[in-house]
A and B are shown apart, each in its own frame.
Chain A
């Protein structure tokens, strides 16, 4: 695993830049992901997505389906892409500290 030093914190990440453990997430991690995911400034809408993703993961042990994410946040998929140019998986889940999406992606 690679190690990243950022704002005084150390993170272990895989080759795609996903964090090694949901529990090692912290606000500094968000700031780091911002720099690699083409996000200029983290606003309340970015945070809302991260909060929903983290709550859902804690409760259910999985990331929500895209339609659930849209429904709960009220953000259409198009808007999610405006917030996270890499999309809900590679962008938002990475920032929220969720495990890397699997399957035939």
Chain B
């Protein structure tokens, strides 16, 4: 398409420039019933999976239908979401903190037709466009990252692993039969953009090979002291190398000390480490962020490595399913996965989930590693 100006003048970039106006204020987009009852809600009920009703002091009710979203969406899809909101919700809608979509209406008579309409919409390939669910004690949307769609540091893909996992856990999205809610999150490298460190189950992209060093370019592309300081295990040191008779500044990596975090590549483009067979997935489990019953927890590594098996990651999804089934069968009501694992003991967790315990799972990072070992005779055979 030929160039079409928005009115911006590249010769005078600062002229008519609008800046620091921030986001639109949230209350501009409140449905009238929400604006009217704000701060005056009495109680709520989950009517069925994916459908909530909130009742205000005034007696007003608002019905919410929550539907799954794939997060990475086309404008065509957003327009279809708008069309639905126009049809049933006077044009109002919202997105949740886990990237589900919520359609709200104060008209009870709209709920049934909206539900039927949402479930009737499918993509040409057969997937539901707007599956209803994600409430209560089930599995809701997977918080995830960029993967091979857009980032340059991933060790796995985000959208692909997430679609494969949600397909396997779909019944848990549309139902509420687990002991408590179960949050699954995914991050494609251990920068952990998102929530993997505090989720019931977490999928994490992982490398297993040290970086390659592009000696010829490193001093031109990189601020070498930053690459050195990026390393958590001090595996990198500055050095010199001779290429074609010229002495160049570069770095050397002590491979026995490198644990493939990829931080040096983040700081220095001349230290790439992605590798098709080296890279794969780590699974973590037992994290939560709420304060309900006990304090928030970090998730812990429970599977050290699963290969990348695109496009469907069958080993990974089967392992996740096995953990959720064991938890579902064994945990008490209201018990989050991490609370269950701590109550029965991690040795039992590995047994019940049929996970192999390998030396990789034993913390060896600095002084705090010691506190993760067991300084007691209390354990089960």
A residues engaging B (CB < 8 A)?
Answer: 20-22, 38, 57, 60-63, 85, 99-100, 102-104
Q: Total A-B pairs in contact (CB under 8 Å)?
A: 33
The residue that B220 contacts in the complex, of A20, A38, A63, with Cβ under 8 A, is: A20
Within 8 A of A (CB), among B7-42: 13-14
Contact B225 A62 (CB under 8 A): yes
Whole-angstrom CA separation of A61 from B331 in the bound complex: 55
Any chain A CB within 8 A of the CB of B319?
A: no
26 A–B contacts, CB within 8 A, in A order: A20-B220, A21-B220, A22-B220, A38-B13, A61-B223, A61-B224, A62-B223, A62-B224, A62-B225, A63-B223, A85-B13, A99-B220, A99-B221, A99-B222, A99-B223, A100-B221, A102-B222, A102-B226, A102-B266, A102-B267, A102-B268, A102-B269, A103-B266, A103-B267, A104-B191, A104-B266
Within 8 A of A (CB), among B181-208: 191
Given contacts A102-B266, A102-B269, A104-B191, contact A61 B220 (CB under 8 A): no
Contact A38 B266 (CB under 8 A): no
Measured between C-beta atoms, what is the minimum distance from A95 to chain B in Å?
15
Measured between C-beta atoms, what is the minimum distance from A52 to chain B in Å?
16
Whole-angstrom CA separation of A61 from B14 in the bound complex: 33
Interface mask (B199-240 → A, CB under 8 Å = 1, otherwise 0): 000000000000000000000111111100000000000000
Contact B225 A60 (CB under 8 A): yes
Measured between C-beta atoms, what is the minimum distance from A29 to chain B in Å?
15
Residues in B neighbouring A21, C-beta threshold 8 A: 220
Q: Which residue of B lies closest to A22 (CB)?
A: B220
Q: Which residue of A lies closest to B265 (CB)?
A: A102
Whole-angstrom CA separation of A38 from B14 in the bound complex: 8
Residues in A neighbouring B14, C-beta threshold 8 A: 38, 85
Q: Which residue of B lies closest to A19 (CB)?
A: B220
Residues in B neighbouring A20, C-beta threshold 8 A: 220
Residues in B neighbouring A103, C-beta threshold 8 A: 266-267
Residues in A neighbouring B191, C-beta threshold 8 A: 104
Residues in B neighbouring A62, C-beta threshold 8 A: 223-226
Measured between C-beta atoms, what is the minimum distance from B215 to chain A in Å?
15
Residues in A neighbouring B223, C-beta threshold 8 A: 57, 61-63, 99, 102
The 3 closest A-B pairs by CB, nearest first: A38-B13, A62-B223, A21-B220
Whole-angstrom CA separation of A35 from B221 in the bound complex: 23
Residues in B neighbouring A100, C-beta threshold 8 A: 221
Q: Which residue of B lies closest to A98 (CB)?
A: B223
Measured between C-beta atoms, what is the minimum distance from B119 to chain A in Å?
39
Q: Which residue of B lies closest to A37 (CB)?
A: B13
Within 8 A of A (CB), among B227-274: 266-269
Measured between C-beta atoms, what is the minimum distance from A47 to chain B in Å?
20
Measured between C-beta atoms, what is the minimum distance from B238 to chain A in Å?
9
The residue that B225 contacts in the complex, of A22, A38, A61, A102, with Cβ under 8 A, is: A61
